[in-house]
Amino acid sequence: MTTATAVRAPRKRRGRARTKTVSAREPISVSALHPLDVNMYLRGMSLVCPDCRTWVPITGKYGATPKLVPHDTTPYGAPGAGRRCTDGSNRAIVLDLTVEHWERRVRRAVEDGCDPATRHGTALVKRPAPKTPAVSQILRPAETAAAAWNAYRTHRDNCAACTRRRTCPDASDLEHRENCTACTPRRTCPEGARLAEIYTRRLRQEPSRRAALDAQAHHDHAYERAHALLRAATRSAQWTETAPAVERADSARATIPDGTVLATYAPGLPGTPKRKTSP
């Protein structure tokens, strides 16, 4: 009959080593270890135990005898139970490195462990610089045929690549213009061709644009007229509603109550003001 082997549960480690025992083995010098096997920062000072190759905290770093805490051969929290590392527990540590010196050794070790290709910057790929756009390309395209024609004519007059058509006096015949070396056709650069295409498009769109503007103007005029009539009707209705109250206020102002200052010192004061008549 096969019996199951009992699995020993891992021991709960104390948060701080309370033993004063120091191992009789030779102390471990930090400078003799690999820089990547040591952590010299005060908050987490630790190193890799040379016997069991597990990270172990260093206790007593502020005292006279820093040493490794008692530890197991497996990392803390790992599944399964390990055995006590009797050779590395409570072993004295010699802190013969400063943090700055240790950091320099770590950087050197990292650089030496890298592939030589990773220590060099990648070759810069020179890309062609983008062409500077023309002023006409930055500005908003012309919305009318006249503005498009002005833009095209200004470009044609100032562009060295755009040339006008040259003809000799006998250029009335088409066959003569094709065979004559003095007659040269008109040449246009890409920007001039783009402006010419915008002009022809605006020229085709001009009738529909004018019709749309006229319809919008007619609609705005009708809206303003209807709004004006509505305002006049609203104001007339408001005056009609408040007219009785206004008449009562005027009658009350025209009457001088008895016992007031006006009734005592100006009894003959008329209730309604009299306007001066021009001679």
Residue type, 126: K
**What whole-number distance in Å separates Cα of residue 53 and Cα of residue 70?**
14
Residue 228: predicted pLDDT? 93
What are 39's two structure tokens? 């952590």
Residue 185: predicted pLDDT? 58
Residue 151: predicted pLDDT? 86
Residue 261: predicted pLDDT? 60
Mean pLDDT for each consecutive 10-residue tract of the chain (279 residues)? 54 61 88 89 86 88 85 74 81 89 88 64 75 73 84 82 62 56 66 85 88 91 93 91 87 70 58 53
**What whole-number distance in Å separates Cα of residue 108 and Cα of residue 268?**
116
Dihedral of alpha carbons 262, 268, 271, 273, sign: negative
What are 35's two structure tokens? 């820089």
**What whole-number distance in Å separates Cα of residue 103 and Cα of residue 38?**
10
Which pTM does this prediction carry? 0.37
Residue 219: predicted pLDDT? 92
Domain boundaries, given as residue ranges, for the chain: 28-112, 141-224
Residue 129: predicted pLDDT? 78
Residue 266: predicted pLDDT? 58
Q: What is the DSSP letter of 77?
A: T
What are 208's two structure tokens? 């529909």
**What whole-number distance in Å separates Cα of residue 75 and Cα of residue 56?**
9
Residue 216: predicted pLDDT? 92
Determine contact, residues 51/38, Cβ cutoff 8 Å: no
